[in-house]
Structure 1
Amino acid sequence: MSPGLPSARTAAIVSLLLVGVALSFAFHATAAGSEITYEATPVEPGEDPDPVAEASSNVTDLDERLSDTADRNREPVRTAAATGSFEGALSSELAIALDGAESRYARYDGRYYEWSLSTGDETANATIEMRPTDAESVFAAVARPASESSADVRRIIDEGTANGSGVRSGLFRRDGAYYAVAIESEAAVAGQIASSFAGFALTPVGRGYAAVGLGLLAYRYREPTRDRLLTVRRAAAVAALAVPLALVATALFETGSPARFVIGPATATVVASGVVAGACVASSRWRSLVGVTVGIGLFATAAIAAPLGPIGFLFGPLAVLFGIATGAVPFGYGYWFARPAADATSPSDSAAREDRDAGP
């Protein structure tokens, strides 16, 4: 055996362990920076209504909603704006664009309107009412006193731009002045949501990697000169470490629904089971490979479905597929450490090596 090979193998195991530990806190790292930046824009009734429509849920921005609607399908809204009302059928495109537009006021073509939309439950017919109104009336009706709002809202108004958590956008009034408080960048919020989701998904992956690294390191420490470190049985013991490791990490570092004690550990176990699959392939145990893959998939799906109910039967297989994909790294380790460090020179040497390394 090459004297440099054991140190290379040990370095690979330690690297996997360190990566696993780092990923185990991926969600905590992404959630720590999940505060949203809000902006307070001073507004006056006679100015551009866009900031008000963007900030207040009581004012529907029809221009924004209809921006992707074909011009011919906007006719009902134009008719209501010109005559005060429209009653008739809406195109499916317009009906989708106006879905949920239940505010008291609307902004359309640079003006404010009192707004009402009534639709039939089973028909495409609708009644749209639009009566022009002045900005002062809208501001008086929808603005909320800043003094009665949260401390975050008052701080955003004071500073102009500030981070906040759970802030409700809207139009606020303070000392006779009005401020439209809204998210500074929708794109940044989308990025934060995507980052938090990635952190949530990678956390059990890290714990699966850490379990494999810890198990391999224990065997490596126990038998540093062993040529074939893993058997299928040993690989299964390594993968099983994912359950207690993930449970302890969940209890120590996470809060929330009790379902977290199932979803995370189940996914981590699927990830770690890649080491068993790798060992099966290395030893050409194809039936065991199929059994492990199907068995761990069914186990994880059932475990996830137990606390989540019927939706778990949708989320469970997705978690299993994600775990199998990210389990490619443990698979590589299982394959590598289940093979001899140096190829046997003859079939008899190979058989002798298999007999020697088949121990527990």
Structure 2
Amino acid sequence: MSSALPPLRTVAIASLILVGVALSFAFHATAGDAELTYEATAVEPGEDSGLVARAASNVTDLDERLSDTPDQYREPIRTAAATGSFDGTLSPELHIALDDVETPYVRYDERYYEWTFSTRGETTNATIEMRPTDPESVFAAVARPASAAPSGVRTAIDEGTANESGVRSGLYRLDGAYYAVAPESEAAVFAQFAGAIAGFALTPVGRGYAAVGLGLLAYRYREPTRDRLLTVRRAVAVAALALPVALVATALFETGSLSRFVTGPATAAVVASGVVAGVCVAQSRWRSLAGVTVGVGLLATAAITAAIGPTGLVFGPLAAILGFVTGLVPFGYGYWFARTGPGPTTG
């Protein structure tokens, strides 16, 4: 073996472990950086209804909700607003837009309405009730006393803004006045949400990388001069390390539903299986490659579905796709470590 080869492979393995460990805490890093700047704005009933709807969790801004719905599909809403109710069939576009509107009040065309929305079975037949109501009634029902709110809310009201982690959006009442407390920047809210999703997805990816790196390091330590370090059997053993690594990390660093002991490790295993695929390609074992790809994807989907229920039929394949895409890194390692390097070998 070339004298330059062992250090290069060792550095590559160490790099994979370091990247894996860093990504393993991606969710913790994004969730920990969760402070937003909240702004408190004094409002009067009948004013700034858009701001009130954005701040209060029990008021929905229908104008904003329907902004992407073509005008010709909004007729049921116009009918309900004009007559008090609509009973009939909704277009799929409108049904999707309204499906999760469960607040008792809505804002529509600069007015407040009491809102009721119900559907019949799995169809688009629905009943919409919109009863006009005055802003004073909405404020009286929706506003919460600032005295009972987290200290960050009082800070926002007293100083205009606050970025404490305990601040919550809402309509608050203090000494007879009303204040709408909401994030100063909607873009920051989206960035925080996107960061949390990315961190959640990358955490099991990192654990898969770390497991592959640890497995390769173990074989490297045992046989430092062996050129073709991986066989299919060894690659399977390396990939299997993802399960205990992810399970231990989940137990030590995460809290929440017990399903996390399935979803994370299953995704990490799909990621780590890339090392097996790399060996199969390096050795032209195409049937084994197909079996590993299909088998691991199906097993991961089945495990996630068993853990979280029918929604696993959606999230399971998504986790498998994420694992296969990010598994290209272990794939490269598997391909590299399954091939014979240039130059003479020793040992």
TM-score scaled by length of structure 2: 0.82
Q: What is the rounded CA distance, in whole Å, between the counterparts of 1:91 and 1:3 in structure 2?
A: 75
Length, aligned pairs only: 340
What is the aligned partner in structure 2 of residue 130 from structure 1? 132
Q: What is the rounded CA distance, in whole Å, between the counterparts of 1:140 and 1:165 in structure 2?
A: 27
Deviation at 1:324, TM superposition (A): 1.5
Q: What is the rounded CA distance, in whole Å, between the counterparts of 1:80 and 1:310 in structure 2?
A: 35
Q: What is the rounded CA distance, in whole Å, between the counterparts of 1:80 and 1:303 in structure 2?
A: 45
Say if 2:262 is the partner of 1:262. yes
Q: What is the rounded CA distance, in whole Å, between the counterparts of 2:264 and 2:117 in structure 1?
A: 44
What is the aligned partner in structure 2 of residue 339 from structure 1? 339
In terms of Rg, which structure is larger? 1
Over 3 Å counting, the alpha-carbon distance change for 1:183 and 1:293 in structure 2 is same
| SS of structure 1 residue aligned to 2:339 | coil
Over 3 Å counting, the alpha-carbon distance change for 1:290 and 1:89 in structure 2 is closer
What does the per-residue CA deviation read over 1:258-311, in whole Å, with 9 as the maximum and x for residues that have no partner?
111111112111111111111122222233223322332333223222222333
Q: What is the rounded CA distance, in whole Å, between the counterparts of 1:234 and 1:221 in structure 2?
A: 14
Contact 1:76–1:86 (CA<8 Å) still a contact in 2? no
Unaligned runs of at least 5 residues, structure 2: none
Deviation at 1:254, TM superposition (A): 0.9
What is the aligned partner in structure 1 of residue 217 from structure 2? 217
Q: What is the rounded CA distance, in whole Å, between the counterparts of 1:277 and 1:301 in structure 2?
A: 19
**Aligned amino acid, residue 309 of structure 1:** G
| SS of structure 2 residue aligned to 1:310 | coil
Over 3 Å counting, the alpha-carbon distance change for 1:77 and 1:272 in structure 2 is closer
Unaligned runs of at least 5 residues, structure 1: 345-352
Q: What is the rounded CA distance, in whole Å, between the counterparts of 1:69 and 1:294 in structure 2?
A: 39
71-80 or 294-303, which moves further after superposition?
A: 71-80
Deviation at 1:248, TM superposition (A): 1.1
What is the aligned partner in structure 2 of residue 347 from structure 1? none
Contact 2:105–2:115 (CA<8 Å) still a contact in 1? no
What does the per-residue CA deviation read over 1:215-241, in whole Å, with 9 as the maximum and x for residues that have no partner?
111222222222222222222221121
Q: What is the rounded CA distance, in whole Å, between the counterparts of 1:80 and 1:145 in structure 2?
A: 32
What is the aligned partner in structure 1 of residue 186 from structure 2? 186
**Aligned amino acid, residue 267 of structure 1:** T
| SS of structure 2 residue aligned to 1:39 | strand
What does the per-residue CA deviation read over 1:290-348, in whole Å, with 9 as the maximum and x for residues that have no partner?
3322332333223222222333233222222221221111111111111111179xxxx
Over 3 Å counting, the alpha-carbon distance change for 1:77 and 1:130 in structure 2 is farther
Deviation at 1:150, TM superposition (A): 3.1
Q: What is the rounded CA distance, in whole Å, between the counterparts of 1:155 and 1:179 in structure 2?
A: 12
Q: What is the rounded CA distance, in whole Å, between the counterparts of 2:85 and 2:188 in structure 1?
A: 40
| SS of structure 1 residue aligned to 2:309 | helix
Q: What is the rounded CA distance, in whole Å, between the counterparts of 1:302 and 1:124 in structure 2?
A: 35
Deviation at 1:120, TM superposition (A): 8.2
Q: What is the rounded CA distance, in whole Å, between the counterparts of 1:75 and 1:205 in structure 2?
A: 47
Contact 2:73–2:94 (CA<8 Å) still a contact in 1? no
Over 3 Å counting, the alpha-carbon distance change for 1:155 and 1:14 in structure 2 is same
What is the aligned partner in structure 2 of residue 317 from structure 1? 317
What is the aligned partner in structure 1 of residue 328 from structure 2? 328
What is the aligned partner in structure 1 of residue 290 from structure 2? 290
Over 3 Å counting, the alpha-carbon distance change for 1:279 and 1:50 in structure 2 is closer
What does the per-residue CA deviation read over 1:8-59, in whole Å, with 9 as the maximum and x for residues that have no partner?
1111111111111111111111111124432211224575444334323555
Contact 1:85–1:130 (CA<8 Å) still a contact in 2? no
- Taking only aligned residues, the RMSD between alpha carbons, in angstroms, comes to 3.5
| SS of structure 2 residue aligned to 1:191 | helix
What is the aligned partner in structure 2 of residue 234 from structure 1? 234
**Aligned amino acid, residue 320 of structure 2:** V
Contact 1:105–1:138 (CA<8 Å) still a contact in 2? no
